[in-house]
Amino acid sequence: MHHVIELRLDEETEGVITSIWQEFARRGLTSRMLDAGGRPHLTLLAASRFPLEAREGELAGLAESQAPIEITFSHLGVFSGESEVLYAGVADPAPLEDLQRRLFEIFAPSVEVFPLYRPGATTFHCTLGLGIARGDLPEAAALARAVAWPMSFSANACEIVEYDERARFLASYGFAKEVV
């Protein structure tokens, strides 16, 4: 089990990514993202467990001071390993890096943030396919390329999600409409 702080996508972008997940599952390429029960997102931080009750006020304050973030998925990428991960990459990670740093400052004193989700180490992305067999990667990439890229949207909330066998949503924090 682990906790993740995820940046929410807008409904339209979430729908496009979900349709990619569904098509991958329909073709037998991978269904792991659907099976987990989560929603399309960008991961900002991950740890074994975040002390949410102890940090509730700080999280609410951060959300109140955070303007919506304009994000563009500009390219496809692959994380290679025993099986492949196909993802949509972010064109300009600077606003995400700033938000991640602020979240890290809230939680780092009390939890061990996973190494790939520490400031300076993260490749911000939205997973399109998790656990794709290497031989299936060309088909998966061709299906993903059929979507209109680049894809831009405004992210206006983050959620805390617990992942075990299935995703369980723990909390949501909407960003300010505008920061004055």
Q: Which domains does the chain have, with CATH numbers?
A: 2-174 (3.90.1140.10)
Which amino acid is it at 33? Answer: M
pTM beyond 0.85: yes
Report the alpha-carbon distance of residue 112 to residue 66 in Å, rounded: 24
What is the band of 92 on the pLDDT scale with cuts at 50, 70, 90?
A: very high
* pLDDT at residue 52 greater than cutoff 90: no
Mean pLDDT of 108-135: 95
Mean pLDDT of 46-69: 93
* pLDDT at residue 102 greater than cutoff 70: yes
Calculate the average pLDDT of the chain: 94
Helix (H) or strand (E) holding 11: helix 11-26
Report the alpha-carbon distance of residue 169 to residue 160 in Å, rounded: 6
Largest Cα separation within the chain, whole Å, is 51
Q: Which residue has tokens 């997973």?
A: 127
For residue 130, the tally of other CB atoms under 10 A from its CB is 19
What confidence score (pLDDT) does residue 41 get? Answer: 96
What confidence score (pLDDT) does residue 83 get? Answer: 85
* pLDDT at residue 140 greater than cutoff 90: yes
Report the alpha-carbon distance of residue 161 to residue 41 in Å, rounded: 11
Name the percent of the chain lying above pLDDT 90: 91
